[in-house]
Amino acid sequence: MWIDARAVVDIDAQQRVTAVRQVWLFDEMFGAYATQGMAKGKGGALPAATLKGMADDWMKSLGEPISHYFTRVTVGGQTATFAAPRDARVDWNPKTTRLTLSFTLPLASPMPIGPEGAQVDIYDPTYFVAYAFDEKGAVSLAGPKASACTSDYRKPKELDWKTMQQLAAIPADPEALPDELFAITKGLTHRIEVRCP
């Protein structure tokens, strides 16, 4: 699955990370798969109730411990705990056959951005979702103190051919990723470094 992603890190007046807002635009193949057999309206539109049901189901699945929203926020070596996600919605574009999932992950407690900054990692530990933050402005900061802070986006490292072949050979529904490959996928993170004066 391929996702064109956007992420906004919310920073409050005390220079604390309060939430990560994300938008995931799924590829056309996933759109065709996820909507097959669904009753569509005029022009291929999906009913609002269907889209809401998809959003609820996806957020429930994303909350499972192995995925944990494919997002990790770390400040000073401590990993943040998320409160219940909010503002989840799915949109469907029948012309492009692409689905979009938007959601906000609030932190259970805002985390002050210390001298080492804050790190937001977005990745799939099972290697089945490939993210791209290629669009201009795909990573940004928002909130009362956002303009005083900076963000730096880092792409995952490139994999060698042998490792890519090993990962490609994994079945679509494995019981678990082999330990040596799981260690590799943990390094395939899209990292946003946030620093404030």
Say what the pTM is: 0.85
Token pair 């689905």 is at which residue?
99
pLDDT of residue 177: 53
Give, in order, the Cα–Cα distances in Å from 135 to each of 6, 7, 111. 8, 11, 28
Nearest to 117 by CA among 194, 12, 13: 194
What's the pLDDT tens digit per position in 37-59?
998 888 899 999 999 999 999 99
pLDDT of residue 101: 98
What's the pLDDT tens digit per position in 148-184?
999 999 987 765 667 656 666 666 555 555 555 555 5
For the segment 127-151, the average pLDDT, to the nearest whole number, is: 91
